[in-house]
Amino acid sequence: MYKRTHTCGELRKDHIDETIHLNGWVNTVRLHGQVIFIDLRDRYGKTQIVFNSEDYNGDFVAVKKLSMEDVLSIKGTVQSRSEGAVNPDMSTGEIEVAVDSMELLSETAPLPFVITDRESALEDLRLKYRYLELRTDELQKNILTRHKTYQAVRSYLSDNNFVEIETPTLMKSTPEGARDFLVPSRIHHGKFYALPQSPQLYKQILMISGFDRYFQIVKCFRDEDFRADRQPEFTQIDVEMSFVDEEDIYSNMEGLTRHIFKELNDVDLPDPFPRITYADALAKYGSDKPDTRYELFLNDVKEFTDRSEFNAFKSAESVKAIVLPGGAKYSRKIIDGLTDFVKKYKAKGLTWMKGENGKLSGGIAKFFDENLQSDLIHATEIKDGDIIFIIGDEKTVVEPALGALRVEIAKREGLADPNIYKPLWVTSFPMFEYDEVENRYTAMHHPFTAPHQDDIEKLETDPASVLSRGYDLTMNGHEIAGGSIRIHSPEIQNKVFSLLGLSLEDAKEKFGFLVEALTYGAPPHGGIAFGFDRLVMILTGSNNIRDVIAFPKTTSAVSLMDDAPNTVSSQQLNELGIQIKPDKN
């Protein structure tokens, strides 16, 4: 093998006349009779190499047989390209290498898909041959962005006194919300470890141990059902700080986020980041992760529908609308499609009217007399050529359904500029959600989140109205991080467990070590975790979480490349004392 003297992205005009060696993959082959052009590729770039039957010392027939993805090592001389052949899109586009001799290091089997064209195969096939798909420019770029993001996170946090500490992957099952992945213990028959849903308990305990600024880039595991943008194992930037309140978390994490976006994308994010309360976010955007790159705000129009002859909304708790400028162009068919869309969000239907000659027309316009039309036009600023979409129902239906419609319309109309990044803190979440099925409260964030100081009294009298000290960092309609100031008093922690329907016994059994640790001098503390994969998606502009993970699972939690999960031998099961029931149910 001619060991490489340069990479395939390195040669420039300055190297002309030098004898060099390159190693790489055949990206493309072009045969021109007695001259063969190959783009040789490695992760640094591509270089055009030329085999000319007159100058080439080896077997020209063997060169003719080369195909895409064969691995070569070549020796040759750098020469300038003839004028018309210069390729300004290639960093090596001014030169080419006249090959003197070549060694075929590895011949490829017939390829299952064309590496230069990801779209040439369905995703399942690409995932089965993930090592081939990882050769594509797009995934090489994504993985490098991911690498640089790790480095940016580590350098920023380390420079700011955060200590990187690993926490165990085999831990005790401590339900935090999602279902745990379990690992049976061989040594302790009948006992199980759980894979961490997050290092939540460990990082709080590290605060009690005095490591007042902790971070970790860590794998987390949640055994949740099918969801397109979720992975059963995913990565978090996990952070915890002592002697802090919300402001300290915000300023440190804004610093981190600004640093990442500057380093990776040369983008200057605002300083400080804007904030919105959970209630306002829902009222204005219909979402707790609003995309603030465009307007399309939700308007309350109940007073107008109440005055109309349209009766369906009279008993509705909430009636809200969004106005789409220029939306009168929407055909009946498009509106029907949007109606089906909002039904997925539990809305019973989607009513509408269009602005025309200073009045409203179509849809439910006939139920609004002239005065009322003019009041509604005035209040919502509908212009001729606009459309107003209205939904009336329970507030918990209206806001999310219109919020989803807002995002869908923005997508259709191309309102979200992919080059703009709009961070936004969402604050003042409710502490609890009521689970109608289980007939009990569940924690909106997790059971270790502190209630607002002013609301502690209400924990017993009116839990539904208690706000928490939780916060989310959102960007462009995605939640990129979430966290909270924690409870550091064992009494309040026990009270919250009992509100969540955990008996003292259960709580002791599940989280006793944390509650005990809280009794030995716990500093006030709080933290946050960033969804690392989501962050890299935003940085790379990808819209598929699998595109930023080297070896992802499918939406049904399968790894198509190595066929995990899979059966194990009966000997392995015996050692664990486990017997598989013939049918799961």
Burial grade of 44 (CB within 10 A; 0-12, 13-18, 19 or more): middle
Q: Which 3 state secondary structure label does DSSP give 426?
A: strand
Q: Which residues contact 349 (CB under 8 A, 6 or more apart)?
A: 339, 342, 343, 391
Tell me the residue number closest to ligand ASP, measured at CB: 198
Nearer to ligand ASP, 167 or 198 (CB): 198
- Give the one residue of 27, 482, 511, 536 binding ligand ASP; rule: CB under 6 A: 482
3-class DSSP state of 155:
helix
DSSP state letter for 53? T
Say if CB 99 and CB 51 are below 8 A apart. Answer: yes
- At how many degrees (to 10) do helices 532-540 and 137-159 cross? 120
Residue 290 as a binder of ligand ASP (CB under 6 A): the answer is: no
To ligand ASP, the closest distance from the beta carbon of 484 in angstroms equals 5
582: preceding bond cis by omega (within 30 degrees)? no
DSSP H helices, 453-548, are: 458-461, 490-499, 504-518, 532-540
Q: How far is the CB of 527 from ligand ASP (least distance, A)?
A: 4
For the bound state, the minimum distance from the C-beta of residue 555 to ligand ASP, rounded and expressed in Å, comes to 21
Which listed range, 3-11, 108-116, 524-532, 536-544, lies at the site for ligand ASP (CB under 6 A)? 524-532
Closer of 139 and 487 to ligand ASP (Cβ)? 487
Among 424, 528, 539, 549, interactor with ligand ASP by CB under 6 A? 528
Candidates 69, 527, 532, 538: give the one binding ligand ASP (CB under 6 A). Answer: 527
Segment holding 334, helix H or strand E: helix 332-343
Nearer to ligand ASP, 25 or 215 (CB): 215
**Minimum distance between the CB of residue 529 and ligand ASP, rounded to whole angstroms?**
4
User: CA 60 to CA 66: how far, in whole Å?
Assistant: 10
483 binds ligand ASP (CB under 6 A): yes
Query: CB under 8 Å to 76, separation ≥6 — which residues?
Result: 19, 20, 22, 49, 97, 98, 99, 100, 101
Residue with Cβ nearer ligand ASP (398 or 481) = 481
Output 174 or 277, the one with its CB closest to ligand ASP. 174
The angle subtended at Cα 521 by Cα 175 and Cα 253, nearest 5°, is 65
Taking the least distance from each CB to ligand ASP, the nearer of 42 and 176 is 176
Question: Which residue stretch of 266-274, 357-365, 479-487, 565-573 sits at the interface with ligand ASP (rule: CB under 6 A)?
Answer: 479-487
**Torsion (CA) 227, 279, 326, 308 in degrees, nearest 10:** 120
Closest to ligand ASP by CB, 177 or 184 = 177
CB-nearer residue toward ligand ASP: 316 or 529:
529
- 484 touching ligand ASP, by CB under 6 A: yes
Site string for ligand ASP, 222-261 (x = CB under 6 A): ----------------------------------------
Query: Is there binding between residue 328 and ligand ASP (CB under 6 A)?
Result: no
Is 196 one of the binding residues for ligand ASP (CB under 6 A)? no
- Residue 492 corresponds to which tokens in the numbers above? 């309040």
Shortest Cβ 531–ligand ASP spacing (Å): 9
CA distance 565 to 170: 18
How big is the site for ligand ASP, counted in residues (CB under 6 A)? 8
x-marked contacts with ligand ASP along 437-476 as a string, rule CB under 6 A: ----------------------------------------
40 binds ligand ASP (CB under 6 A): no
Specify the residue, 92 or 235, whose C-beta has the smaller distance to ligand ASP. 235
Task: Take residue 491 and report the two structure tokens written for it.
Answer: 């009494």
To the nearest 10°, the Cα dihedral for 380, 383, 386, 388?
A: 20
200 binds ligand ASP (CB under 6 A): yes
Distance CA 194, CA 172 (A): 5
CB of 290 or CB of 483, closer to ligand ASP: 483
Distance of closest approach, residue 354 Cβ to ligand ASP, in angstroms:
43
Q: Which amino acid is residue 574, in one-letter code? A: N
CA–CA distance, 414 with 326 (Å, rounded to integer): 13
- Smallest separation (angstroms) from ligand ASP to the CB of 556: 23
387-393 and 440-443 as β-strands: parallel, antiparallel, unpaired? unpaired
> What would the DSSP string read from start to end of 218-246?
EEEE------TT--SEEEEEEEEEES--H
Interaction of residue 363 with ligand ASP, rule CB under 6 A: no
Q: Which is nearer to ligand ASP, 178 or 283 (CB)?
A: 178
- 546: tokens are 């699998």
198 binds ligand ASP (CB under 6 A): yes
Contacts of 206 (CB under 8 A, 6+ apart): 165, 167, 214, 240
Cβ of residue 245: shortest distance to ligand ASP, in angstroms?
A: 15
Q: Which stretch binds ligand ASP (CB under 6 A): 227-235, 256-264, 300-308, 523-531?
A: 523-531
CB of 446 to ligand ASP, least distance (A): 6
Q: Which residues bind ligand ASP (CB under 6 A)?
A: 198, 200, 482-484, 527-529
